[in-house]
Amino acid sequence: MATAAQDSTAGAALTFPEGFLWGSATASYQIEGAAAEDGRTPSIWDTYARTPGKVRNGDTGDIATDHYHRWREDVAMMADLGIGAYRFSLAWPRVQPTGRGPAVQKGLDFYRRLVDELLEKGIKPVATLYHWDLPQELEDAGGWPERATAERFAEYAAIAADALGDRVATWTTLNEPWCSAFLGYGSGVHAPGRTDPVDALRAAHHLNLGHGLAVQALRSRIPADAQVSVTLNIHHVRPLTDAAEDVDSARRIDALANRVFTGPMLGGAYPEDLLKDTAGLTDWSFVRDGDLTEIHQPLDFLGVNYYTPTLVSKADGSGTHNSDGHGRSSHSPWPAADEVAFHQPPGETTAMGWAVDATGMYDLLRRLDADFPGLPLVITENGAAFDDYADPNGEVKDPARIAYVRDHLAAVHRAIQDGTDVRGYFLWSLLDNFEWGYGYSKRFGAVYVDYPTGRRIPKASARWYSEVARTGVLPGA
């Protein structure tokens, strides 16, 4: 297969369509800090990060990048960089500390001020309701494996819409529910750190249900021309060889990684092969009559997060039993897939150990266009972690990140040229931040954060991306 460097567009400047949205993204727990201020109570990530051995170096999000206090500075920096849109998430325990009952207005006021400042600077706010920080009290009551959590999520969505629906025109229900379900309840490398494969499948269903109920809550409160979406980390799964058993392994992982969400959300049904593959674990009786109708709600676009492809084969003693990019565990995040092995794709890797392969972006976008014709796509996350540092001149040079983003944007452009309706691109991430189980050891940001002081230093990639966003032109390699 050709690499991005072999793409015929690699040396040419590429112009994106007029109106293409250029943005950057963050998540509440990763940047906000202020973990116990203005009524915020612990989320599952506060609890998990404080559990010895769960997060590298014992890091927590207690302070993070202190965005809760430095938000005005951060918005000014976005404006200086020419960022057209900012995708952020609301912290559920900051808005509704117990996951039940009325909102805390001080928590909502933070997001009101943030959104007003974005609008004043000409930056489009894109709000995500859930980026993994479930209120701990809801987890104590059973968490996402329980139906009640989906119902509470819809109530929280209504609170957010009532507070911000007059000024936020683009909403996302969930970010990467695969991580919430299968890393949180399957392999345990994400909060809440549970390791039950049936709970992981139950969680996936109730995340789907929560999404559908939240879409309905949003639609009933926001203007008719506002947009509603969901963001999925669609895995681009490739078989190691063309052998039938490897192709079947790819099918099995595709069902668990992708179609467990796209099936009910976009098609109104769970895939039959998924139900058959997992029949030895569960009869799926937690799916009640009417659930699939609740889940299958019209969306204005699908958010797509892509970083690296997934390479699998039938287990033969090589490879590993899991591949999640967020930590090792003796428990697999893949229920009923013990006969599948995961392999490191060839070639260059990022600081996360993830293969750099922009052809996966192109192939994924073309597949989604074929599977869901007429549904617009937005790249809601794409980026890379590298071992960045400030040099003696106070500059952060990150040519590998520029090359990564350039190649992936070229793949997006190629997909658009071939007929895929891609409406925008959000760089992950605006800032270096708390990278989940890796703590502060991995830097994804276009802006370097000196954690002891909180100082922000735009990296070379930030200035490069700024020019792309301002002009809509991707320079040649």
Order of all β-strands in the sheet with 237-239 = 237-239, 310-314, 340-343
* Amino acid at site 388: D
- Tokens representing 304 are 């797509």
Residues 273, 251 contacting (CB under 8 angstroms)? yes
- Ordered DSSP codes for 256-273: IIIIHHHIIIIISS--HH
CA distances from 43 to 27, 28, 128, 140, 477 (A): 13, 11, 16, 11, 43
Does residue 155 have an active-site annotation? no
Which is nearest to 395 in space by CA: 454, 459, 447?
459
Question: Which residues make Cβ contacts (< 8 Å) with residue 380, sequence separation at least 6?
Answer: 25, 87, 172, 175, 231, 303, 304, 305, 426
- Tokens representing 6 are 């072999």
Sign of CA dihedral 170, 420, 354, 395: negative
- Ordered DSSP codes for 416-442: HHTT--EEEEEEE-SB----GGGTTS-
The span from the CA of 123 to the CA of 194, in Å, is: 39
- Tokens representing 83 are 């960022």
Phi-psi region of 284 (alpha: psi -120 to 50; beta: other; left: phi over 0): left
Cβ atoms < 10 Å from Cβ of 110? 23
Cβ atoms < 10 Å from Cβ of 19? 8
Does residue 348 have an active-site annotation? no
- Tokens representing 328 are 């090792």
The span from the CA of 261 to the CA of 35, in Å, is: 31
Considering 32, 117, 139, 176, which one is annotated as catalytic? 176
Residue with tokens 């947009």: 227
Q: What DSSP element (H or E) covers 305?
A: strand 301-305
Residues 459, 385 contacting (CB under 8 angstroms)? no
Cβ atoms < 10 Å from Cβ of 76? 12
Considering 32, 139, 381, 435, which one is annotated as catalytic? 381
- Tokens representing 310 are 């997934």
Length of the chain: 477
Residues 377, 302 contacting (CB under 8 angstroms)? yes
Residues with a known catalytic role: 176, 381
